[in-house]
């Protein structure tokens, strides 16, 4: 693996750990519903991952509010998936610390996959549209 891939994976792991810890603390200390706690953990981790990626992967020394806003915008699909999964699972499993942990880990895992798929679709469509052609999104094919 290249050093960029290793750095990216380490940043993703740190973000996931921070995400889950914040969500669990919010849930247990403030007794907020799991969908709210998971959203707060997720949004906190997005900000942390943005800073870590900018500094340690891309080598940027100046952070950009515009790039942060784009990062949050691209993460909205995953956030919606995470909140929905947390809501559904929290209805079935409720109460204990173990149940909360299962809901948080499962919703985080599913939203991680959803985010990957969303980013892949966006990258492929933007590549198709940015290649100089006047193609419409409906004309872009996934390869």
Supply the range of the domain harboring residue 39: 3-139
pLDDT of 100 > 60? The answer is yes
Q: What is the pLDDT of residue 17?
A: 95
Among the listed residues 12, 22, 21, 16, the one whose alpha carbon sits nearest the alpha carbon of residue 53? 12
Count structural domains, the chain: 1
Which H, E and C letters describe 56-91, residue by residue?
HHCCCCCCCHHHHHHHHHHHHHHHHHHHHHHHHHHH
Q: What is the pLDDT of residue 143?
A: 47
**How sure is the predictor about 47, in pLDDT bands with cuts at 50, 70 and 90?**
very high
Alpha-carbon dihedral angle through residues 53, 58, 60, 65, given to the nearest 10 degrees: -50
d(CA 51, CA 7): 13
Q: What is the pLDDT of residue 128?
A: 58
**Which is more confidently placed, 112 or 23?**
23
d(CA 41, CA 108): 10
pLDDT of 37 > 90? The answer is yes
Q: What is the mean pLDDT of residues 20-45?
A: 94
d(CA 105, CA 22): 12
Helices 65-92 and 97-130 sit at what angle, rounded to 10 degrees? 140
pLDDT of 85 > 70? The answer is yes
Q: What is the mean pLDDT of residues 49-77?
A: 87
pLDDT of 98 > 80? The answer is yes
Contact 89, 103 (CB under 8 A): yes
């Amino acid at each position: 693996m290249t050093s960029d891939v290793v750095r990216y994976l380490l940043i993703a792991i740190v973000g996931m750990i921070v995400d889950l810890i914040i969500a669990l603390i919010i849930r247990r200390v403030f007794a907020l519903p799991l969908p709210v706690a998971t959203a707060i953990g997720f949004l906190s981790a997005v900000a942390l991952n943005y800073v870590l990626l900018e500094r340690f992967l891309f080598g940027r020394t100046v952070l950009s509010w515009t790039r942060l806003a784009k990062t949050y915008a691209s993460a909205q699909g995953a956030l919606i998936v995470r909140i929905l999964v947390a809501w559904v699972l929290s209805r079935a499993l409720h109460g204990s610390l173990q149940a909360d942990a299962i809901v948080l880990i499962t919703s985080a895992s599913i939203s991680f996959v959803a985010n990957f798929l969303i980013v892949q679709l966006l990258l492929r469509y933007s590549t198709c549209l940015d290649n100089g052609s006047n193609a419409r999104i409906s004309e872009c094919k996934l390869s």
